[in-house]
């Protein structure tokens, strides 16, 4: 399709350009073409959901991919890095490992390093985290009265990353008007 030149017949002020008239295209479609378009869209959405659910099953993590939102883990991870997570419950948590955890009362998961592990004889493990770029441990981030995290708080463990791929997510969160442009 060729885009008409401004000022050509039918493209003056107040008239929609033919290549931008989505609803006109929809009205010109017969029922079969419209059905196929809706079906294609539904297949794309369902495929994305199946891939996401498959990743959840394969990785054992409720959120197999997360974006680093702050600079607290620099230089290991930077703001906007995309992390790939696993969360196999049989794997023991060790000091030095980078975990993503959720704290009761906070919606956004936190990406920090395990600095201390406290193991009891009954197999119960508690651990303390800290951001590489932070001066103090995370006890101030935990819910009131909580000094240690438990395995139930872990969303996943970092297994790989893509640098800065998640910047789009950060831009859309920091500048909500940008969402409208997309």
- Catalytic-role residue among 61, 81, 138, 153: 138
72 noted as active-site residue: yes
pLDDT tens-digit profile, the chain (182 residues): 454 545 445 555 555 555 566 667 777 778 888 889 899 999 999 999 999 999 999 999 999 999 999 999 999 999 999 999 999 988 889 999 999 999 988 888 999 999 999 988 787 899 999 999 999 999 999 998 899 999 999 999 999 999 999 998 888 888 877 666 65
89 is catalytic: no
Distance CA 125, CA 102 (A): 17
- 61, 72, 81, 153: the active-site residue: 72
Q: Which of 61, 81, 112, 153 is catalytic?
A: 112
138 noted as active-site residue? yes
């Amino acid at each position: 399709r060729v885009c008409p030149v401004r000022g050509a017949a039918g493209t003056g002020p107040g008239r929609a350009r033919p290549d931008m008239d989505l609803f006109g295209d929809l009205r010109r479609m017969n029922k079969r073409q419209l059905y196929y378009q809706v079906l294609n869209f539904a297949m794309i959405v369902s495929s994305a959901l199946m891939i996401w659910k498959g990743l959840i099953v394969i990785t054992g993590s409720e959120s197999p991919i997360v974006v680093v939102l702050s600079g607290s883990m620099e230089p290991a991870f930077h703001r906007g890095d995309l992390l790939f997570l696993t969360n196999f419950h049989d794997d023991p948590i060790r000091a030095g490992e980078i975990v993503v955890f959720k704290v009761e009362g906070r919606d956004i998961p936190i990406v920090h390093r395990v600095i201390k592990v406290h193991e009891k004889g009954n197999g119960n493990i508690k651990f303390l985290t800290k951001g590489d770029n932070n001066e103090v441990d995370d006890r101030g981030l935990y819910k009131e009265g909580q000094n240690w995290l438990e395995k139930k708080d872990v969303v996943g463990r970092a297994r790989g990353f893509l640098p800065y791929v998640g910047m789009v997510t950060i831009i859309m969160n920091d500048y909500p008007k940008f969402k409208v442009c997309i």
